[in-house]
């Protein structure tokens, strides 16, 4: 005998999202990507009713009518390496700029058909010529451990990528993929030149065209590998650096981890690591509004899985929260045009539902490889920071999304996006009056931070900030702290916020 359940626990629920083809319309074969919510904030539809209140002797109101529907939803989850990158495109109103890969976020995949040990090559029916000789690629999803990890490309054709490392024969599954994560220069090819206003990685010999790396101004790279031969001798010439401009024979930097010094890379096979870039775009043809359907499953009734949906949902607000001795968490909210409920008999909507790719959360104690706020100074890539340590940091995105209402429409027929606003708050330990003066002087300030874990990582960069507040917090028996508000503006590279995802980083990046 089947027992009737009188309640459903929250732990049996699940959350997924699918990108719509057009507003409120799913593609023919939607993919419902999994999420890991820690909790929800006002998820669903809120109905507005207005009661009838005619003048009558009984002084009683009559049952009202439904006049409006507001559909929205928010949730929070831990920041992980792989959990949110695809969805972040919606908040940036842009496509992620990816390096060559067999599994692009927004394009057709290149199925890998085999791994041949005798030839040290990965094979596919077509499409593998995108991986050039010298490229560093990261292989993942293979059953044989030897076929995963960092590899250096020695050559490629449309049907094969040959690497320098030893491989094992395998017929890979659909989960296997190759991603470009950097480049290894031949011996003595690159030097560090500091003769100009900004330091440069320059080509000393050969004809390699640096513009083929696909780097853009504002993007971050990591210079140097783990082996001594793959990094510069001067420690300050290695590490995270932000690209200012790229030429055929140089890469110029305007942010570095230390002050760079002139160095000749004789006998060095320097490694340069780079990743995928997501930023709010300046050019109209690169700005893309995405809409989603968010699916929350609600457990089982007598007939199957119950579910509810936010339909025509556009990314509205994001809040990245960093607290001492904690996980890094993200709150995300969406404004939708409608919401739907489906009983078990109807079941969830059709589509593929891939498994969650497990990834550990970033913590605020040991996963920050770099965090720095400083006043911008022309020609100085490594100015003194405004503070040494933070107690908390909040970074926010607000797309100012509003639903569009109309007569004869319950809910909204569309949504409109307003100004792309980036801001937040920081609280720092006070050590120098320079931070207070930066507020008073309305100085041009910038903030960036890098998170690294398990040989992968990400950088968040706000290139131009105006600081607010700035009143010192002085309490008995406590260190002096300085709370500051941040209002970001368009920087020199044409964006307000940039997110850099690194699928692979060397051990040297985890400091």
* pLDDT confidence bin for 503, thresholds 50/70/90: very high
Backbone dihedral region for residue 113 (phi beyond 0: left; psi -120 to 50: alpha; all else: beta): alpha
What pLDDT, in 10s, does the model give residues 386-421?
Answer: 999 999 999 999 999 999 999 999 999 999 999 999
More confident residue, 500 or 11: 500
Cβ neighbors of 7 (< 8 A, separation 6 or more) are none
For residue 152, with 0-12 CB atoms within 10 Å meaning exposed, 13-18 middle and 19 or more buried, which class applies?
middle
In 157-219, at which residue ranges do the beta strands (DSSP E only) sit?
160-163, 177-184, 190-193, 200-203
CB atoms inside a 10 Å sphere around CB 295: 23
Q: Which pLDDT does position 123 carry in this prediction?
A: 98
- Cα 362 from chain centre: 13
Between 275-279, 419-423, 430-434, 460-464, the lowest mean confidence (pLDDT) is in: 430-434
The Cα–Cα gap between 499 and 280 comes to 9
* pLDDT confidence bin for 2, thresholds 50/70/90: low
Backbone dihedral region for residue 115 (phi beyond 0: left; psi -120 to 50: alpha; all else: beta): beta
What pLDDT, in 10s, does the model give residues 39-81?
Answer: 999 899 999 999 899 999 999 998 989 999 999 999 999 999 9
- Quote the pTM value: 0.96
Q: Which pLDDT does position 7 carry in this prediction?
A: 85
Coil, strand, or helix at residue 382? coil
Asked if pLDDT for residue 346 goes beyond 70, the answer is: yes
Read off the pLDDT of each residue in 122-145 and give the average, rounded to a whole number. 98
Give 342's Cβ-side CA count (13 Å radius). 17
Read off the pLDDT of each residue in 446-453 and give the average, rounded to a whole number. 98
| Mean pLDDT value across the chain | 96
- Report percent pLDDT > 90 for the chain: 93
Asked if pLDDT for residue 3 goes beyond 90, the answer is: no
What pLDDT, in 10s, does the model give residues 353-384?
Answer: 999 999 999 999 999 999 999 999 999 999 99
Between 57-66, 110-119, 288-297, the lowest mean confidence (pLDDT) is in: 57-66
CB atoms inside a 10 Å sphere around CB 332: 25
* pLDDT confidence bin for 140, thresholds 50/70/90: very high
In the chain, what are the domain boundaries?
Answer: 11-45+76-83+290-509, 100-274
Read off the pLDDT of each residue in 486-504 and give the average, rounded to a whole number. 98
Q: Which pLDDT does position 1 carry in this prediction?
A: 58
Q: Report which secondary-structure segment, H or E, holds 427.
A: strand 421-429
Q: Which parts of 311-381 fold into alpha helices (H)?
A: none
Measured at the CA of 10, the angle between CA 8 and CA 11, to 5 degrees, comes to: 110
Give me the residue label for tokens 């933070």. Answer: 390
């Amino acid at each position: 005998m089947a027992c009737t359940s009188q309640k459903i626990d929250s732990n049996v629920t699940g959350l997924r999202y699918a990108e719509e083809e057009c507003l409120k319309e799913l593609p023919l074969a939607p993919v419902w990507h999994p999420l890991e919510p820690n909790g929800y904030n006002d998820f669903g539809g809120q109905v507005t009713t207005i009661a009838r209140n005619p003048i009558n002797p009984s002084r009683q109101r009559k049952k009202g009518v439904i006049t409006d529907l507001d559909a929205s939803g928010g949730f929070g989850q831990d920041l992980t390496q792989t959990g949110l990158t695809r969805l972040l495109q919606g908040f940036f109103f842009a496509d992620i700029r990816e390096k060559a890969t067999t599994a692009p976020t927004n394009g057709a995949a290149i199925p890998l058909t085999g791994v041949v040990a005798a030839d040290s090559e990965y094979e596919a029916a077509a499409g593998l010529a995108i991986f050039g000789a010298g490229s560093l690629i990261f292989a993942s999803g293979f059953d044989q451990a030897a076929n995963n990890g960092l590899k250096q490309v020695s050559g490629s054709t449309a049907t094969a990528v040959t690497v320098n490392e030893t491989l094992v024969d395998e017929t890979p599954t659909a989960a296997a993929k190759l991603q470009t994560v950097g480049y290894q220069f031949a011996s003595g090819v690159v030097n560090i030149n500091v003769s100009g206003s900004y330091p440069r990685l320059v080509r000393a010999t050969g004809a390699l065209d640096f513009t083929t790396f696909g780097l853009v101004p504002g993007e971050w790279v990591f210079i140097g590998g783990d082996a001594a031969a793959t990094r510069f001798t001067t420690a300050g010439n290695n590490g995270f650096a932000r690209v200012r401009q790229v030429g055929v024979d140089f890469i110029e930097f305007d942010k570095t981890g230390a002050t760079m010094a002139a160095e000749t890379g004789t006998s060095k096979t320097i490694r340069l690591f780079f990743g995928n870039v997501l930023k709010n775009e300046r050019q109209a043809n690169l700005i893309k509004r995405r809409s989603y359907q968010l699916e929350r499953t609600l457990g089982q009734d007598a007939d199957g899985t119950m579910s509810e949906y936010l339909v025509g949902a556009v990314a509205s607000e994001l809040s990245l929260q960093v607290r001492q001795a904690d996980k890094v968490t993200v709150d995300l909210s969406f404004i939708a045009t409608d919401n739907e409920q489906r009983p078990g008999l109807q079941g969830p909507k059709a589509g593929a539902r891939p498994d969650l790719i497990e990834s550990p959360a970033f913590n605020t104690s040991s996963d920050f490889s770099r965090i720095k706020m400083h006043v911008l100074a022309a020609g100085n890539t490594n100015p003194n920071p405004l503070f040494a340590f933070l107690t908390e940091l909040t970074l926010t995105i607000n797309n100012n999304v509003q639903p569009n209402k109309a007569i004869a429409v319950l809910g909204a027929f569309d949504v409109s996006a307003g100004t792309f606003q980036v801001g937040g708050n920081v609280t720092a330990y006070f050590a120098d009056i320079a931070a207070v003066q930066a507020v008073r002087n309305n100085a041009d300030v910038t903030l960036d931070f890098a998170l690294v874990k398990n040989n992968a990582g990400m950088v968040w960069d706000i290139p131009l900030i105006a600081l607010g507040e700035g009143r010192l917090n002085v309490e008995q028996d406590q260190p002096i702290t300085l709370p500051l508000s941040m209002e970001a503006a368009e920087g020199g590279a044409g964006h307000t916020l940039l997110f850099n995802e690194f699928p692979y980083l060397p051990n040297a990046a985890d400091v």
